[in-house]
Structures are given as structure tokens and as C-alpha cells.
């Protein structure tokens, strides 16, 4: 799914992330439960934040989103979990990279888990991914069996029958991403910045279409419980333009996955793709209730 920019992507209060200048864990001033450290790999520096109490949980952001953007959801999850968040290369406080590709972003997630392995977590973590982060989570779990307890996928990793980036929508999305790149100047140098160009975002979305064409094979390799939290109107509720086709394609992908993998627990929120920002309390509650469900139920939630 192509990630649509929003005000949450380029504006909002900046969240303190402490000192990322060196290796090892660092306590945030005034809050000993928060720790920050950096991971150096593949020529990039990845900032990681860890805090909360309870079951370990790793939260992977998506394309055009940062750990600062996910602050509300993170804080809600920290009430019941030891939450690890991080920035993908070229996002937030992570360094820029020479290349941006699905495999490169996946290597960032692999590096985070490798570092957590050295920290000896008390149990395998729940892996939560939003949009592109959901796709990364599925690929990681399929390639590293036994390293996660279960998956929670938020509006991503969807085996849609048709690509999103078609010739018909290309001009609209190109203009949208160029506008996003322009608006990013307002938060340049902050924890909410995204350093990718409009062309790089376009190329990544084309690549994600290819990745999702084969993602069912990845699901077949995962033996952990999986929960999906999906929007009912991914592209918005407009009855005009490309939105109806995109929404139908999104729903068809979910239906296809459930037929193929009936054990997956599915939840649907009455929202668009920005659900992780607009419906953080509902998502946090679903994550708490879904853990260990192992596909025993499906639900449709109407948010106020």
C-alpha cells in the first residue's frame, strides 16, 4: 500500500529522544525507565528507544513515518509492554543512506533484533509493524523462526490482487509525494523528518507492489500467531476518483489472505490508512486483547 502523507507526517510536537550520540543504553533525564542507544550497521546509524514494563514488544514504523510520529501509540503500549521503537534509515533521527530499498529497510529491522539478542530479553517479543513495517515484520518472521512470539500487522503486508501504482494513479501520487517532500522542509533536522526524495518514495512503492505479489509465500513459513488490524477505507471515504478502486483492492487483499490463512485474527477499524495516528487507543486495546488469540476471532470495530 502506498502511504499517504498527512499533517502527522510533517508536523506536530517534537518528542525528546535523549542522547543518541554513542553506543549502549542511556537513561533519559528524569525518567530512568527510558533507555536510548544507537545501532551502526550497513553504513547507517539507527536510533533505538526502549521503555515500559511487561512483555517485550518491538514497534516497526512504515515508510514516511518515524518513531516520533508513533509516540501516542508507543506510550499507550508501554503501560503493558517493554516497548522498543526505532527509526528506519533516512527517517527521524536515523542517518541518511546511499540506498533505500525493501531489503535495506529489512536489514535495519534485522540489526535491531540482533542488538536485542545481545541484550538478552526475558522472552521473544511481539513484533508490531505499521504499513511497510508490517511487510518488514512478515519477511523478518519468515526468515528468522523462533525470534518473535507473535505478529501484529497494522494496515500492511496485504496480498492485494492488483498493484497500487498503476499508470492511472501515477501522476496523482507523484504530485502527492513531491508535495510531501516540500512540506518536509518544515521539520528538517527534527525527529519527524524523512530524508527520502519523491522519486525514492515512488520507486519504493513500486517495489512494495512486487514484494506484496509474493507475500503469501512468506505467510506460509510463519508458525507464530498473527493478528491484523486493517482500515475499512484505506484511501479515504470519498466516492470519487481512485479511492473506491483502491479501497476495494485493499479489501480484496484481506479477503484473499483470510481464505489462504484462516487462522489469522483480523480486526477492522472504521478509518483510513492514518489509523495508527487517528485511532491509537483502539489499536493499543486490540493489541492487548489480541495477543495469544491465535485466530480464534475476527472483529469489526467502529471507532467514535
* Beta pairing class for 55-60 and 81-86: parallel
Q: Are 222 and 141 in contact (CB under 8 A)?
A: yes
Q: Find how far residue 264's CA is from the centre of its chain.
A: 18
Residue given cell 510520529 in the structure block: 69
Beta strands in the chain (DSSP E): 26-28, 31-41, 44-51, 55-60, 81-86, 126-130, 150-154, 226-231, 265-269, 299-301
* Predicted confidence pLDDT, tens digits, the chain (304 residues): 444 333 222 233 333 333 333 444 444 433 447 899 999 999 999 999 999 999 999 999 999 999 999 999 999 999 999 999 999 999 999 999 999 999 999 999 999 999 999 998 999 999 999 999 999 999 999 999 999 999 999 999 999 999 988 888 888 888 888 888 888 889 999 999 999 999 999 999 999 999 999 999 999 999 999 999 999 999 999 888 889 999 999 999 999 999 999 999 999 999 999 999 999 999 999 999 877 554 333 444 433 3
Cβ proximity of 68 and 38 under 8 Å: no
* Spatial separation of the C-alpha atoms in residues 124 and 239, rounded to whole Å: 44
Return the pLDDT at 293.
52
- 32's CB contacts (< 8 A; 6+ apart) are none
CA dist 159 and 171 (Å) reads 24
For the purposes of burial, counting CB atoms within 10 Å of the CB of 29, is it exposed (0-12), middle (13-18) or buried (19 or more)? exposed
Which value, to the nearest 10 degrees, does the dihedral of the CA atoms of residues 38, 10, 109, 136 take? 180
What is the reported pLDDT for 300?
Answer: 42
Q: Domains in the chain and their CATH numbers?
A: 7-301 (3.40.50.1820)
Residue 230 phi/psi, 5° resolution?
-120, 145
List the grid coordinates of 22: 554513542
- List b or e across 197-213, with b for residues whose CB sees 16 or more CB atoms inside 10 angstroms: ebebbbebbeebbebbe
Q: Which residues contact 201 (CB under 8 A, 6 or more apart)?
A: 63, 64, 177, 180, 181
**CA–CA gap between residue 11 and residue 295 (Å, rounded):** 37
Q: Which pLDDT score is estimated for 30?
A: 37
d(CA 187, CA 194): 9
> Residues with Cβ < 8 Å from 165, sequence gap 6 or more?
2, 173, 202, 205, 206, 209
Q: Cell 508490531 appears where? A: 128
Beta-bridged to residue 228, according to DSSP, are 153, 266
Q: Cα separation of 70 and 59, whole Å?
A: 9
Backbone angles phi, psi at 280, to 5 degrees: -60, -45
pTM summary value = 0.87
How many CB atoms within 10 Å of residue 257?
23
Amino acid at each position: 500500500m502506498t502511504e499517504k502523507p498527512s499533517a502527522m507526517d510533517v508536523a506536530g510536537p517534537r518528542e525528546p529522544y535523549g542522547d543518541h550520540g554513542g553506543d549502549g543504553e542511556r537513561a533519559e533525564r528524569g525518567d530512568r525507565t527510558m533507555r536510548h542507544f544507537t545501532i551502526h550497521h550497513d553504513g547507517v546509524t539507527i536510533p533505538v528507544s526502549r521503555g515500559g514494563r511487561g512483555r517485550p514488544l518491538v514497534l516497526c514504523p512504515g515508510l514516511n513515518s518515524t518513531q516520533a510520529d508513533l509516540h501516542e501509540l508507543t506510550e499507550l503500549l508501554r503501560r503493558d509492554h517493554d516497548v522498543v521503537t526505532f527509526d528506519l534509515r533516512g527517517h527521524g533521527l536515523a542517518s541518511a543512506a546511499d540506498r533505500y530499498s525493501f531489503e535495506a529497510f529489512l536489514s535495519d529491522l534485522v540489526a535491531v533484533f540482533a542488538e536485542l539478542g545481545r541484550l538478552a530479553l526475558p522472552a521473544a517479543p511481539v513484533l508490531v509493524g505499521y504499513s511497510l513495517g508490517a511487510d518488514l515484520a512478515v519477511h523478518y518472521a519468515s526468515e528468522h523462526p523462533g525470534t518473535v512470539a507473535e505478529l501484529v500487522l497494522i494496515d500492511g503486508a496485504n496480498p492485494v490482487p492488483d498493484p497500487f501504482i498503476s499508470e492511472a494513479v501515477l501522476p496523482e501520487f507523484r504530485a502527492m509525494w513531491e508535495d510531501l517532500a516540500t512540506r518536509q522542509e518544515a521539520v528538517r533536522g527534527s525527529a519527524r523528518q524523512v530524508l527520502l526524495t519523491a522519486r525514492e518514495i515512488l520507486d519504493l512503492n513500486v517495489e512494495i507492489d512486487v514484494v506484496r505479489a509474493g507475500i503469501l509465500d512468506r505467510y506460509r513459513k510463519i508458525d507464530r500467531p498473527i493478528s491484523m488490524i486493517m482500515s475499512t477505507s484505506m484511501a479515504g471515504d470519498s466516492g470519487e476518483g481512485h479511492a473506491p478502486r483502491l479501497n476495494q483492492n485493499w479489501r480484496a487483499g484481506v479477503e484473499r489472505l483470510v481464505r489462504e490463512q484462516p487462522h489469522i485474527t483480523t480486526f477492522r477499524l472504521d478509518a483510513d490508512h492514518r489509523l495508527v495516528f487517528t485511532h491509537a487507543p483502539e489499536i493499543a486495546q486490540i493489541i492487548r486483547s489480541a495477543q495469544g488469540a491465535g485466530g480464534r476471532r475476527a472483529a469489526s470495530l467502529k471507532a467514535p
